[in-house]
Every structure is written in structure tokens, then in C-alpha cells.
Amino acid sequence: MRMKSLLAVAPLALALVAQPVWAQEADNTVAARIQSAAERLVQDSNPARLEVLKAHLDAMGLAYELQTFEGGNRQTGPMAGTNIVITFGEGARDIVMTAHYDAAVLRDGAFSHGVVDNAGGTLAMIEAAKSLQAHSNHLNHRMIVVLTDQEELGLIGAGKWLEQADKTRIAGVVNVDVAAYGRTVMFGLNNGEASRGLVRTLRTYCADTATDCEAFPVYPPSEDRVFSRAGIPVLSLGIQNAVGARQMWLAFNGGQDNGLREGFVPDVFQNIHTHEDKMDKLKSDDVAAFAAFLTGLIQRIATDTADKNP
């Protein structure tokens, strides 16, 4: 009986499996590129990470400029930093994509491998940029990808970029932080009234692509805050496995009765900014899938904000 019914469903199963193989092969190239770049990003300083990214962008044929700035904070003292800026496409307004590439110095003075936070997000953004550049004539916007430095010192890189940018041109910003594994896309609802349109676009895109997206009334801060403080529409995204995303939701939004056991810390917060944020956490096929999601999302944002172009 079981054998017979198994055989009966086999052709259907095969048909379902056969379809995505082609797409998966294309994805595997992206996943392999993400995997090897992430390995190379494990360095002992942020200037060393910068050099790895420059070589990675050169190899991918993505032109960039460097924005150097005087940053640092009270702990570090004055410290030079470098943002990587990739610009393509044309339009009266800009869509800005941000991800920080710097890794944190740990409490014991060691340098984090910075895989989850935020090599994964950085590499997803670069893949999305590469895909979008091929369609830039349909985007009707100037696209600016800012891979920022010194996020970990207080959102400095994004602030320095915004200081010199023409804010009136910015139609929207998409920031990615903490993106190394899982297929659940997490996003914050706490970037103010100005970001409501972007949130609507994101929710629609999640539904249309049957992506599991989790809205956080309170989402932990990243460089999105630099933009929302300036009244600029911004989305902050990350990925997690489904359980991890819900645990994070409860930890940040569940209050006293969140049901998590006393002292529970969601998995991702046990890893980032510790010695555990290392290569074994990376699932490059998940990051590749997220890069494809970002590409489609940004195309949708370009369409939705095009109506508002002057």
C-alpha cells in the first residue's frame, strides 16, 4: 500500500524537483562566491576586510569609490574609516542600499570574525547590486550601495556618508544587518511614519514571493537609525531561521510574559559580538536566496517610488 502510493506520487514529485534544478545551479554559483568571499573576510582588522572587499568587487566587475572619513569614538579615540560606495543607474532620485562590513572588537580585545554580523549581509548586498546593475535602465533611479565602516563604533560610517549626501534625492534606503542563515526575513516597524510606504512595499513583496517575513514592532538598531532620525524612509532587514526569528521577536517585543525561559538569549545574540560569530554559522545558499529576495524587493521599491519622482 505505502509502496504503491509512493510510486503514484513519484512522477509529480519528480516534476516538482525537476523545475528548480536549473535555478538552483545558477544559485550555487552565487552561493559558492559568497562562501569563498566570507572565508576571505575573516581577518584581524577592518582595513584588512576592506582590502578583501575591494578585490572581491574588482573580481565581480563592480566599480566603486572609497569615502574616507575621520571617525572613532570615545573608547577608540580618533580613527580613520573607509566606506565603499558603488553607484550605478540614472534618475532624479536615489535608492540607497547599506550594509556594514566592519567587524567588532570583542571585550577581550580579540577581533570578531564578523560572519553573521555582517559579512553575510555585506555579501548579499553585493550580489543584489550585481544583479540590479544588469537591469539599471529599468530602475529609473540612481542606485547607491554603501558598504559602511565603523557601524560597530556607533553607526559612524552611515552617518559620514549621509553628511555629504543630497538628502532630498533619497527615495528610500534598505539596510541589511545580521544575515548569514535562515529563510525568514525580519524587518522593523520602528523607523517612523516616513518609512510606512517602504513597509507596505515590503509586505506586498513578501506575500507575492511567498517569503516568510516577520514584522518587529521593536527591531534592534543598525544604521537604519541614522536615516530614520533624518526623516528618510528606510527598511532594516535581517535573516534568521524561523524559530530564531520568533524567539528574537519574543525577546524584543514579548514583554514580561514572553514565555521564554528566565535568562533565555536568542541564538543569534549568543553568537554576534562573540568568538562564536564564525564561518560555521554561514549558510551561503540562504544568503544567496536572500540576495535574490533583495534584488526583487529593490526593483519593486524602484517601481513603487517612481510615481513620486519629480
Q: How far apart are CA 6 and CA 9, in angstroms?
A: 5
Q: Which is nearer to Zn ion, 122 or 305 (CB)?
A: 122
Q: Which is nearer to Zn ion, 214 or 277 (CB)?
A: 277
Write the CB contacts of 85 (distance below 8 Å, at least 6 apart in sequence). 64, 65, 66, 67, 144, 145, 146, 147, 161
> Which strands, in side-by-side order, build the sheet including 184-188?
65-71, 79-88, 142-148, 94-100, 170-176, 234-240, 184-188, 213-216
Instruction: Give contact residues for Zn ion (rule: CB under 5 A).
Output: 117-118, 177
Q: Which is nearer to Zn ion, 220 or 296 (CB)?
A: 220
Q: How far apart are CA 303 and CA 4, in angstroms?
A: 50
Q: How far apart are CA 294 and CA 182, in angstroms?
A: 15
Q: How far is the CB of 118 from Zn ion (least distance, A)?
A: 4
Q: How far is the CB of 222 from Zn ion (least distance, A)?
A: 6
Q: Which is nearer to Zn ion, 94 or 117 (CB)?
A: 117
Q: How far is the CB of 58 from Zn ion (least distance, A)?
A: 25
Q: How far is the CB of 272 from Zn ion (least distance, A)?
A: 7
Q: Which is nearer to Zn ion, 118 or 195 (CB)?
A: 118
Write the CB contacts of 55 (distance below 8 Å, at least 6 apart in sequence). 40
Q: Taking a C-beta distance cutoff of 8 angstroms, is the pair 228, 205 a contact?
A: no
Q: How far is the CB of 271 from Zn ion (least distance, A)?
A: 12
Q: Which is nearer to Zn ion, 94 or 177 (CB)?
A: 177
Q: How many CA atoms lie within 13 A of 163 on its CB side?
A: 13
Q: How far is the CB of 117 from Zn ion (least distance, A)?
A: 4
